[in-house]
Copies of this chain bind each other. A is one copy, B any other.
Amino acid sequence: MAKPVKVDELTTFCQLVLRGFGADAETARDCTDSMMHGSIHGVDSHGVRLLGHYARGLKGGRLNKTPQIQFKRTRAGTGLLDGDNAQGARATYAAIDHACTLAGEAGIGAVGITRSSHFGPAGAYALRAAQRGMLALVTCNSDSFVRLHDGAERFHGTNPISVACPAPGNPWLLDMATSAVPFNRVELYRSTGTPLPDGVASDENGTDVTDPNLSAMLAPLGGMFGFKGAALGGVAELFSAVLTGMKLSPDIDPMGGPDFSTPRGMGAFVAVLDPAAFAGAELVQAGITRYLELLRTSPAQQGRTVMAPGDREWAVALERRKNGISLDPVTADSFSELARALNLKPVV
Q: Mark A146-161, 1 if CB is under 8 A from B, else 0.
A: 0011111101000000
Compute how far the CA of A165 lies from the CA of B271 in the bound complex, rounded to whole angstroms.
17
Q: Mark A281-318, 1 if CB is under 8 A from B, else 0.
A: 00110011011001100111110111111000000000
A306 cross-chain contacts in B, Cβ below 8 A? 148-151
The answer to whether A74 has its CB under 8 Å from any CB of chain B is yes
Tell me if B301 and A207 are in contact (CB < 8 A): yes
Answer whether residue A61 sits at the interface, using C-beta atoms and an 8 A cutoff.
Answer: no
Of A152, A231, A250, the most chain B CB neighbours within 10 A belong to A231
Per the CB 8 Å criterion, the residue count for chain A at the interface is 83
Q: What are the residues of chain B within 8 A of A309 when measuring CB–CB? A: 227, 231, 234
Closest CB in chain B relative to A101 CB, distance in Å = 13
**Which chain A residues (67-119) contact chain B, with CB distance < 8 Å?**
74-78, 80, 105-110, 112, 114
B180 near A222: Cβ-Cβ < 8 Å: yes
Instruction: Determine the chain B residues whose CB is within 8 A of the CB of A107 once the complex forms.
Output: 74-78, 110
Interface string of A187-218 (1 = CB under 8 A from B): 00000000001010000011100000000000
Bound: A205/B288 CA distance, A? 26
Q: Copy number in this complex?
A: 2
- Asked if A28 CB lies within 8 Å of chain B CBs, one says no
Please tell me if the beta carbons of A151 and B301 are within 8 angstroms of each other in the complex: yes
A106 touches B223 (CB 8 A): no
B114, B221, B277, B295: the one contacting A225 at CB < 8 Å is B221
Q: Which residues of B contact A149 (CB under 8 A)?
A: 306-307
Least Cβ distance of A151 to chain B in Å? 5
Alpha-carbon gap, A108 to B273, bound state (A): 11
Say how far A272's CB is from chain B's closest CB, in angstroms: 11
Q: A180-B225, A278-B80, A298-B151 are in contact. Are A287 and B245 (CB under 8 A)?
A: yes
Provide a sorted-by-A list of 6 A–B residue pairs whose CB atoms are within 8 angstroms.
Answer: A76-B107, A151-B300, A153-B298, A205-B302, A206-B299, A231-B309
- Interface contacts beyond A78-B107, A234-B291: sample of 13 additional A-B pairs, CB < 8 Å, sorted by A: A135-B239, A135-B243, A150-B301, A151-B301, A151-B306, A206-B299, A221-B229, A234-B308, A237-B291, A238-B288, A242-B284, A242-B287, A245-B284
